[in-house]
Structure 1
Amino acid sequence: MKIQGSNLLWHSLPPEKGPKVRRIILITQREFASALAQKFQSVAPDLRIEFAWSLEEIVHAVDQQSKYTRIISFGSDIIVPADILNRLTSPAYNFHPGPPAYPGIFPSVFALYDRATQFGITLHEMAPRVDSGAIVAVDTFSIPKEWDRLQLDTATFNSLQDLLSRTAPQLAHIDEPLPTTSNTWTGALRTRKEFEDLCHLPENTSESEFARRYRAIGEGPEHVLTMTRFGRVFRLMNIRNSAVVRGGQPTSALKTP
Structure 2
Amino acid sequence: MNGEIILLTSDLEASHLASILHKHNPELSIIAVQKRAELEKVVLAGSHANNWRRMIAFCSSVIVPTAVLNHLGGPAYNFHPGPPNYPGAHPASFAIYHQVDQYGVTVHEITSTIDSGTIVATEWFKVRDKIRFSELEMDAYKVLLSVFQRMSERLAKNPTPLLPSGETWSGKTNTREDFNRMREVTAEMDEGEITLRFRAFG
Normalising TM by the smaller chain, what interval?
over 0.9
Q: How many Å separate the matches in 2 of 1:91 and 1:173? A: 15
Matches within 5 A, 1:193-208: 193-208=177-192
Counterpart of 1:65, as a letter, is S
Matches within 5 A, 1:1-257: 22-62=3-43, 63-65=45-47, 68-173=52-157, 175-218=159-202
Q: How many Å separate the matches in 1 of 2:29 and 2:120? A: 23
1:104-123, Cα deviation, whole Å (9 max, x unpaired): 00000000001111100000
Deviation at 1:187, TM superposition (A): 1.1
Preserved CA contact (<8 Å) 1:22 1:47: yes
Structure 2: gaps of 5 or more residues: none
Structure 1: gaps of 5 or more residues: 1-19, 219-257
Q: Which moved more, 1:51-60 or 1:201-210?
A: 201-210
User: Any idea what SS the aligned residue of 1:70 has?
Assistant: strand
Note closer, same or farther for the CA distance 1:80–1:192 as it changes in structure 2 (3 Å cut): same
Deviation at 1:169, TM superposition (A): 1.1
Q: How many Å separate the matches in 1 of 2:38 and 2:158? A: 20
User: Any idea what SS the aligned residue of 2:24 has?
Assistant: coil
Give the CA RMSD over aligned residues.
1.5
Using the aligned pairs only, state the percent identity. Answer: 36
Q: Which moved more, 1:86-95 or 1:167-176?
A: 167-176
Q: How many Å separate the matches in 2 of 1:151 and 1:47? A: 34
- Report the TM-score, using the length of structure 2 for normalisation: 0.94
1:205-251, Cα deviation, whole Å (9 max, x unpaired): 21111111011013xxxxxxxxxxxxxxxxxxxxxxxxxxxxxxxxx
Q: How many Å separate the matches in 2 of 1:55 and 1:154? A: 25
Deviation at 1:174, TM superposition (A): 5.3
Preserved CA contact (<8 Å) 1:122 1:137: yes
- Report the TM-score, using the length of structure 1 for normalisation: 0.74
User: Any idea what SS the aligned residue of 1:61 has?
Assistant: helix
Which structure has the greater CA radius of gyration? 1
Note closer, same or farther for the CA distance 1:39–1:135 as it changes in structure 2 (3 Å cut): same
Q: How many Å separate the matches in 2 of 1:61 and 1:174? A: 21
